[in-house]
Each structure stands twice: as structure tokens, then as C-alpha cells.
């Protein structure tokens, strides 16, 4: 069976509040836990009215407090936005509160527009260039303290929070392999370099104290419903959102529509469909066929799924339906 996990952005659905979005994330995690998902990750984005997970560590705590066994973490923390010591203290605190359940996925993109990124980072060049060094520093801060003294994170030291490297490019594949870290690739919105990145990571992986063999998790989007037509309608919310991103329009996560005709140009349609080409949209049978083909092509160790559906009950149902697809797809290979 291919292990399945959840990626959530705490979507602020059109017509709903940020509080409702955060409570919906907790409810989604509870359903994911009951459905057998391995982990539930939340993503750091800033300045986006449709996403409520900017203060990612706080949302992780909100979700972890409402669940019991599922692993909860970041997918990811954009490390150049933060001092490693701050992240070590935050995730050391989370590990103390929810022992054995916290994970730290790290990325190097800003997770926002350049103006907001400058407000977060202050020094844009220094943050990106020091990314590998900051990962090593964070590992030290979360590990055993240096007996000779020096910088310590309290909480943080001796917490040994598992670190993952996230990416959507070949750079991240090389770095994850060199550091011996588990690797998550964002093929749900950056599909073009997926196969090459996975190949590089596996071929160049160097065993580390925390991981002896490569482990790659890949992202997909999914909207699963009783019929293909219903699922396609649900997925128009995601399609609208990606059109809005391309137009630099910031608004809450859109309600679904009966058709995208007239809402995007031909060029926008081609671009969005290309970006979302790995999306598992359809009835359980249709989604299972897509998932089976994807697993056969990529051979991931794990899949993390994002469910961009406006209505909470429909989103929960999609997550429940998708949970049964991983076992069916793996069994048929």
C-alpha cells in the first residue's frame, strides 16, 4: 500500500471567515486521522486572502490539539523567512506539547509576493544563499547541545524533530540527497521536473544518521466525488484560484461554477491545465485509474494530497474517498 498524507492550506472559502477556515483544517485532520492518512501538513503562505496558515506553527498546534495519532507538520516552513533559532524554538515547543507527532518540512521560496517577502526577510539575497547552512544550523539546534557551550534552543534542543526538504526544482533534489533528508516534491503545482528530480534524489542520496535510504513523497491535487461531473465542478474552485494567481488577483477561495467558459482565456486554460495535469479529479473509479497511472510512472514512496474544494463537507468526503484509492492502486500494480 502506498502511504497517503494530507497537505492543507487552511483555505479561506468565499463567504467564510478565517476562524472557520482554521476550524475546518482541524476537522479535516480528524477525518484524515480516522481514514488512515499518515501525516497532515500545513503550508506557509503570506498576504493571500484565500489562505489562513501564515502563522504555520500556531495552526499546527491547533490541529494537533484536535487529533490524537496523526503526525502533524509543515509543508512547509519557508526557512529563509525566519531565523533558524526561532523555528527550533517553535517546533521544539510543538514537540514538547505533542511528543512524537511533529514534523518540520522546509522550503526556500518566499511563499508570497516580492513586496511581502521583503517585509518578511529584509535581506532577500542573504536568506536564499544561506539556505543549506540554515538547515544544518537548525539540525544542530534540534539535536543534542554542544558540550562546549554555544547557541542552544530552549525548547528545541534534544527534541530531534524530523526534518524534510521540500522542493519544486532540481536544486532541492540535489540538496536533499546530499544531506540525507527525506524529500517531498511539489508536483501538485510544479510537475515539469518531477521525474528528473526524483531520479537525481534517489541516485545521489547519501545515507545520514536520520535516514538510511531515500524516501520521496510527491504531491497531487484531488477532487473525488460520486460522479465525474460533480468532481469536475468542485475542481473549478482550484482552476479559478490558479487563474487569479496568474492575474495577481487576491481574493478568498472561490465557489465552484458550472463551467469555466468565459472565466479564462485559451492561454490561461492551457497553462492551468498543464500545471494541474497530475490532479486526480473524478469519480472513485476515474480517480483510481489516474492514481494508478501516476504511481506506475513515478514510483513514489508516499503521496501527499491537497484537496482544493470549497464546501467543507464535499472536501471531507473527497478525502474519505481518496483514502481507499491508494490501496487499490498499489494492489493493481
| Rounded Cα–Cα distance for residues 140 and 143 (Å) | 5
Helix (H) or strand (E) holding 41: strand 39-42
Q: What is the overall mean pLDDT for the chain?
A: 93
Is residue 333 very low, low, confident or very high in pLDDT (cuts 50, 70, 90)?
Answer: very low
**How confident is the model over 98-136, as pLDDT tens digits?**
999 999 999 998 766 677 777 776 565 665 678 999 999
**Where is average pLDDT lowest: 102-116, 215-229, 309-323?**
102-116
Sequence-distant contacts of 267-275: CB under 8 A, at least 24 apart:
268/243, 271/246, 272/239, 272/242, 272/243, 272/246, 274/191, 275/189, 275/190, 275/191, 275/242
104 within 8 A of 66, measured Cβ to Cβ:
no
Q: Determine the average pLDDT of the residues in 200-206.
A: 98
β partners of residue 194: none
**Beta-carbon neighbour count of residue 55 at 10 Å?**
15
Residue 219 confidence class, pLDDT cut points 50, 70, 90: very high
> CB-based contacts of 49: which residues, under 8 Å, 6+ apart?
12, 250, 251, 252
Q: What is the pLDDT of residue 148?
A: 72
Q: What is the pTM of this model?
A: 0.94
Structural domain spans, the chain: 4-332
Question: What is the SS3 assignment for 223?
Answer: strand
Is residue 200 pLDDT above 80, yes or no?
A: yes
Look at the domain 4-332 and name its fold: TIM Barrel (3.20.20)
| Contact status, residue 63 vs residue 42, Cβ threshold 8 Å | yes
pLDDT digits (tens, 9 = 90+) for 163-172: 999 999 999 9
Say if CB 276 and CB 219 are below 8 A apart: no
pLDDT, tens only, 36-55: 999 999 999 999 999 999 99
pLDDT of residue 1: 80
Amino acid at each position: 500500500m502506498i502511504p497517503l498524507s494530507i497537505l492543507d492550506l487552511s483555505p479561506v472559502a468565499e463567504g467564510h471567515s478565517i476562524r472557520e477556515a482554521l476550524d475546518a483544517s482541524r476537522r479535516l485532520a480528524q477525518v484524515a486521522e480516522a481514514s488512515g492518512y499518515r501525516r497532515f501538513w500545513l503550508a506557509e503562505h503570506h498576504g493571500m486572502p484565500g489562505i489562513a496558515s501564515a502563522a504555520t506553527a500556531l495552526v499546527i498546534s491547533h490541529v494537533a490539539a484536535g487529533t490524537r495519532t496523526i503526525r502533524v507538520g509543515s509543508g512547509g516552513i519557508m526557512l529563509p523567512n525566519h531565523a533558524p533559532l526561532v523555528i527550533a524554538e517553535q517546533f521544539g515547543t510543538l514537540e514538547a506539547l505533542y511528543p512524537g507527532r511533529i514534523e518540520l518540512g522546509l522550503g526556500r521560496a518566499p511563499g508570497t509576493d516580492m513586496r511581502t517577502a521583503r517585509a518578511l526577510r529584509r535581506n532577500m539575497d542573504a536568506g536564499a544563499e544561506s539556505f543549506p547552512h540554515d538547515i544544518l544550523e537548525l539540525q544542530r539546534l534540534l539535536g543534542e547541545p554542544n558540550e562546549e557551550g554555544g547557541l542552544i534552543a530552549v525548547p528545541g534542543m534534544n527534541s530531534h524533530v524530523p526534518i524534510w526538504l521540500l522542493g519544486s526544482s532540481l536544486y532541492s533534489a540535489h540538496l536533499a540527497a546530499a544531506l540525507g533528508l527525506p524529500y517531498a516534491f511539489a508536483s501538485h503545482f510544479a510537475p515539469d521536473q518531477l521525474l528528473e528530480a526524483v531520479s537525481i534524489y534517489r541516485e545521489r542520496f547519501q545515507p545520514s544518521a536520520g535516514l538510511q535510504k531515500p524516501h520521496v513523497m510527491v504531491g497531487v491535487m484531488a477532487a473525488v466525488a460520486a460522479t465525474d461531473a460533480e468532481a469536475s465542478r468542485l475542481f473549478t474552485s482550484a482552476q479559478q484560484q490558479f487563474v487569479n494567481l496568474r492575474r495577481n488577483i487576491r481574493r478568498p477561495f472561490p465557489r465552484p461554477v458550472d463551467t469555466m467558459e468565459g472565466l479564462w482565456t485559451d492561454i490561461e486554460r492551457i497553462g492551468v491545465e498543464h500545471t494541474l495535469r497530475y490532479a486526480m479529479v473524478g469519480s472513485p473509479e476515474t480517480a483510481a485509474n489516474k492514481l494508478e497511472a501516476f504511481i506506475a510512472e513515478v514510483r513514489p514512496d508516499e503521496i501527499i494530497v491537497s484537496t482544493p474544494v470549497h464546501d467543507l463537507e464535499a472536501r471531507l468526503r473527497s478525502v474519505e474517498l481518496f483514502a481507499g484509492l491508494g490501496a487499490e492502486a498499489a494492489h493493481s500494480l
